[in-house]
Amino acid sequence: MATAAAKKGKVSSELTRRIIFTLILLAVYRVGVFIPTPGIDAEALAGFFKGAEGTLLDFATMFTGGALENFSVFALGIMPYISASIIIQLLTVVMPSLEKLSKEGEQGKKVITAYTRYFTIVLSIVQGLMISIGLERMTGSAGEPIVLYAGWSFRILTTITLTAGTAFIMWLGEQITERGIGNGISLIIYAGIVARMPAAVSNTVNLVRAGEMQFLVIILLLAIMIAVIAFIVMMETAHRRIPIQYPKRVVGRKMMGGGTQHLPLKVNTAGVIPPIFASSIIIFPATVVSFINVPFMQGIADSLNPGGLLYNLFYVAFIIFFTYFYTAIQFNPKDVAENLKNYGGFVPGIRPGANTADYIDRVLSRLTLWGALYLSAVCVLPTVLMSNMNAPFYFGGTALLIVVAVAMDTAQQGQSHLMGKQYDGLLNKKPKGKKQR
What per-residue confidence (pLDDT) applies to 294?
61
Residue 304 pLDDT exceeds 70: no
Which three-class secondary structure string do you get for 281-333? HHHHHHHHHHCCCCHHHHHHHHHCCCCCHHHHHHHHHHHHHHHHHHHHHHCCH
What per-residue confidence (pLDDT) applies to 305?
65
pLDDT band at 33 (very low <50, low <70, confident <90, very high): confident
Residue 8 pLDDT exceeds 60: no
| DSSP-based helix, strand, coil % in the chain, nearest 5 | 70, 10, 20
Of 166-170, 309-313, 426-430, minimum mean pLDDT range: 426-430
pLDDT band at 59 (very low <50, low <70, confident <90, very high): low
DSSP structural state of residue 266: E
Best CA proximity match to 236, nearest among 370, 332, 330: 370
Number of structural domains the chain divides into = 1
Whether residue 265 is contained in a domain is answered as: yes
Calpha distance 344→352 (Å, rounded): 9
What is this structure's pTM? Answer: 0.78
Angle at Cα 193 formed by Cα 204 and Cα 209, nearest 5°?
5
The stretch 95-123 carries a mean pLDDT of 86
The stretch 331-338 carries a mean pLDDT of 84
The residue range of the domain holding 271 is: 22-425
Whether residue 75 is contained in a domain is answered as: yes
Number of Cβ within 10 Å of residue 49's Cβ equals 19
Q: Which residue has the higher pLDDT, 373 or 86?
A: 373
pLDDT band at 52 (very low <50, low <70, confident <90, very high): low
Whether residue 7 is contained in a domain is answered as: no
Question: What does the DSSP assignment read for 1-24?
Answer: -HHHHHHHHHHHHHHHHHHHHHHH
Tell how far CA 413 is from the center of its chain.
15
The stretch 329-344 carries a mean pLDDT of 82
Identify the CATH number of the domain in which residue 291 sits. 1.10.3370.10
Residue 436 pLDDT exceeds 50: no
Calpha distance 243→250 (Å, rounded): 23
Whether residue 381 is contained in a domain is answered as: yes
Calpha distance 194→174 (Å, rounded): 20
Whether residue 15 is contained in a domain is answered as: no
Question: Which range has highest mean pLDDT (36-45, 247-256, 284-293, 421-430)?
Answer: 36-45
Whether residue 376 is contained in a domain is answered as: yes
Calpha distance 273→340 (Å, rounded): 28
Whether residue 283 is contained in a domain is answered as: yes
The stretch 206-228 carries a mean pLDDT of 80
pLDDT band at 4 (very low <50, low <70, confident <90, very high): low
pLDDT band at 437 (very low <50, low <70, confident <90, very high): very low
Number of Cβ within 10 Å of residue 360's Cβ equals 22
Whether residue 327 is contained in a domain is answered as: yes
